[in-house]
Amino acid sequence: MAELLTASSILVALVTWFVTHRFAARAERIRLTGQLISHLSTNPLLDEANLRISRLLREGDRLEDDDVPDDLDRDLHRVLNYYEFLCDFCALGALDRTTIIRLRGAPIHRTYEATKGYIVARRKRLKYPSLYACLERLAADVRAHAEAPS
């Protein structure tokens, strides 16, 4: 009987440790995700590119191909690469998906929708079919999340 109580106590201790560890790891991933997004949003080059792309989005423009002026191309690369970076690390489990969707989901979705034609044309030109594929998946998840009934 004593062995059964000891084994039960050990099992409870292990389960408690595991659950606590999982919650702590998720909380840390959420904290680091927010911190990374905050830190990267203060990058002057990315901030400037984001501002230009935001203007494009406000005007309702959609890019149908990748034949764009050099300065817009540079800004698109910066913003799309930033979003792809976040999405890649999210897919690897290093960043928290829910936090990314809450903090950057709407801009990611709007940017992807406005630049879909550019991305498709760039994939063809570079013969790189998976270019911005992770970004595409996250944008679809954001859209599905927004369309889901509350």
For 103-123, give one letter per residue: b (16+ CB within 10 A) or e.
bbbebbbbbbebbbebbbbbb
Any domain includes 16 = no
Count of domains forming the chain: 1
Any domain includes 4 = no
Nearest to 138 by CA among 96, 76, 58: 96
Q: Residue 106 is part of which domain span?
A: 31-147
Residues 6+ apart with CB under 8 A from 112: 83, 119, 132, 135, 136, 139
Q: 80-134 pLDDT, tens per residue?
A: 999 999 999 999 988 999 999 999 999 999 999 999 999 999 999 999 999 999 9
pTM: 0.80
